[in-house]
Structure 1
Amino acid sequence: MWSDRDADPPGCPGSGRPAAPAPVLPSGFPDGRAVCDACLDFVAVTDAGALAPHDAFRGASSAQEARERADWFNTFGWTR
């Protein structure tokens, strides 16, 4: 049986890694955020050029976000 005690912590291990804003779609997505190599979420970049602390990506929060994510990865690829 699964329990929260056995679960991975919600914080993403990619937090704090060096990052630069990702390329932008015509719609503006991802709005200055970078792709986290650890969880593939789009995350704010700090002034120091690192990924802001964030929880591991658990899925798009809306159908619009899911479409924009799909468009972004189809346009710019899945390479890391």
Structure 2
Amino acid sequence: MENHSSDSRDPAAFLSSIIGAPVTVKLNSGVVYKGELQSVDGYMNIALEKCAEYVNGQLRRNYGDAFVRGNNVLYISA
């Protein structure tokens, strides 16, 4: 039996370790947000600071802070 609390691939531990780091968040729609990860919860709701929104690889707008609802998230990359 594996001990999941020490599993280096544990998503909760990974997400906790990258708080404050620059991340890329891709949504199911294909829109990408790049910013500094401030918080994430068990539903994958994400708070970003210094956030920029990209559509088809092109910068669309900059946000100071952004909140992304978790059910829209395809992936988070550090």
Normalized against structure 2, the TM-score is what? 0.29
Name the structure with the higher helix share.
1
